Amino acid sequence: MLSGIILSLCYPQFNLGELIWISLIPLISAIWLGSAKITSKKRAIRGFALGYVTGLIFFLINLSWLHHIHLAASALLPAFLALYFAIWGAFAATIGRPSFFNSTETNDFLESKKIISSSSIESLRCAFLNGSAWCGLEWLRGWLITGFPWNGLGVGLRNDLVMIQITDLIGVTGLSFVIVFCSSIITSLIFRITKEIKTSRLRAHPDFIVGIIFIASIFIYGANRLSPKKDSHIEVSVLLVQGGIDQEEKWNANSAQQIYRRYWDLTTPYLSLENADFDLVVWPESSLPYSLHDKETQTYLNKILSVDDYELVLGLNEHIPQEGIYNSIVVLRKNTSSAKTYRKIHLVPFGEYVPLRSTLPFLEKLASSAIGIDFTPGKRADPIKMNLPEPYSIIPLVCFEDTFGNLARRFIKDEPQLIVNVTNDGWFGESAASEQHLANAMFRCIELRRPMIRSANTGISCIIDTTGNLHDRWASTPGGKRMIYGDTEKNTFITDSLPELIRIPRNSTQTLYARIGDSFSIAFGSISLIAAIFPVLRRLTTLRK
């Protein structure tokens, strides 16, 4: 229970990320310090139960904003996601439990030379396997049944820019390995030192030194990645627009004209400024009430595009007869006949479509308050070519697509690229969801070393550089964060425009993560799976003999 509570404090809205390093220690201690005399099967069941309690408490607190969508979802999804913690708990209680925890007597523990000489190796073995199992399960959570990678352990470190730079090699799920590896070593160390202090027999602990070297190496790598470099950049003058339109107003036909007027008023005054010269204007997801192919929408867009020469990126729904309805990103310049589109690939279950709608009628009833008609998924993951002020391309991501690293990397090319995310977090009210969404999105910038623009209807509109930084590191004088958010208090229901400058590296190359994706977590997770299966196979072989 304590681990679940501490872990929930590491994420928005509490933002105590430094606690992530100790968050799992109570859980690991409870799992390992169980009776040494119980069977391996009972130990696994106990670990499963302890892990489930931790996961359930964490997700109930962390995902409490789900009640804004559906009350049942706020309980059912945490109950399902807690199973991943439970599986890890069963693993840590058996395969990942150091053998010296079987010595219940202090004298047995201290006098056994075999245990003393191998305790550090055993500690490192278990730390490696536990870290591997966790990052493997996190990858599975982000993939299985369409995936829900939201708020893995690594996301809790988002404010430590130095430590999270390693994600361009191992991804955010790989970062979770580091946290669990260190937590396992610390827990093991606490147990052994406590025993040694009681008998005044302190000894060296090489596993702790290995942990320190591991963390120091990651720190050095991160510091090097953050050091200023004289790279060539494309400077794009951008205008971010946040409509701040309430959900009830957004889908009300009587409010359509007011919405058209609001985006006009938030955009054209900036375009009309002397020497404004904007290259890019970005509007959020489903910004306008009608489809791209609606005549009124086309007339409106042609009029606003004629104010100046710029490229407009906006979220729109596309109604294609005999084909479907798409949640799209559209790029326009001068007029709507120039439209280039990206159609959202990864749709949100029960938010944009109902799985097995026709087969299981109760699912239709469950989602009736959230969705009326299914969207159609797009199929092409192609970057969109841009031309102002010079050629580059954008990686288009709609809504929660910015939380899926393996989707974003499909757009990567060896050319100057900018990630553009359009979203609408208005479904979640004044909750921590918008800030959590931003925390997850920023890792795409580091994993792929591409800057990002986020334009939200309600939520947090901002500019993020290739290191996950919201500040302008090239500014001659340090400024505030480049975002639309409450100044004095956190507020995501803001109507505003943000004129800014974003720098896109000209010589963009592919990071290791962009090339191999989550292979680190898949490989290490596979190792832990083999470690779990091997004893079972050995036992079956023995029984056959």
pLDDT tens digit sequence for 516-534: 999 999 999 999 999 999 8
What is the model's pLDDT at position 116?
47
Q: Could you report the per-residue pLDDT of 150-191, keeping only the tens digit for each?
A: 999 999 999 999 999 999 999 999 999 999 999 999 999 999
Exposure of 131 by Cβ count < 10 A (0-12 exposed, 13-18 middle, 19+ buried)? buried
Q: In what order do the strands lie in the sheet with 324-333?
A: 335-343, 324-333, 311-320, 280-282, 233-242, 496-505
Query: In the 8-state DSSP scheme, what is residue 160?
Result: -
Section 370-379 average pLDDT: 78
Alpha-helical runs (H) found in 36-72: 40-62
Give the closest residue to 284 by CA, choosing from 416, 428, 396: 396
- Residue 434 tokens read as 């918008």
- One-letter amino acid for residue 285 of the chain: E
Q: What are phi and psi of 488, to 5 degrees?
A: -90, -35
Which CATH code, of 3.60.110.10, 3.40.50.1100, 3.30.1220.10, 3.40.190.10, is assigned to 233-345+380-506? 3.60.110.10
d(CA 390, CA 178): 40
What are the Cα distances from residue 34, in Å, to 30, 56, 232, 535?
7, 21, 58, 21
Average pLDDT over the chain, rounded to an integer: 90
SS3 call for 460: coil
Q: Could you report the per-residue pLDDT of 411-432, keeping only the tens digit for each?
A: 999 999 999 999 999 888 888 9
What is the model's pLDDT at position 48?
97
Residues 508 and 234: beta-carbon distance below 8 Å: no
Q: Domain ranges for the chain, please list them.
A: 2-228+519-544, 233-345+380-506
Q: In what order do the strands lie in the sheet with 461-464?
A: 384-386, 392-398, 417-423, 452-456, 461-464, 483-484
Q: Could you report the per-residue pLDDT of 341-358, keeping only the tens digit for each?
A: 999 999 988 778 777 555
pTM: 0.92
Q: What is the largest CA-CA distance in the chain?
A: 88
SS3 call for 455: strand
The long-range contacts involving 20-26, CB below 8 angstroms and separated by at least 24 positions, are 20/153, 20/156, 20/157, 20/179, 21/179, 21/182, 21/183, 21/186, 22/183, 22/186, 23/156, 23/183, 24/179, 24/180, 24/183, 25/183, 25/186, 25/187, 25/190, 26/2
Section 470-493 average pLDDT: 75
Q: Could you report the per-residue pLDDT of 329-339, keeping only the tens digit for each?
A: 999 999 999 89
What is the model's pLDDT at position 489?
61
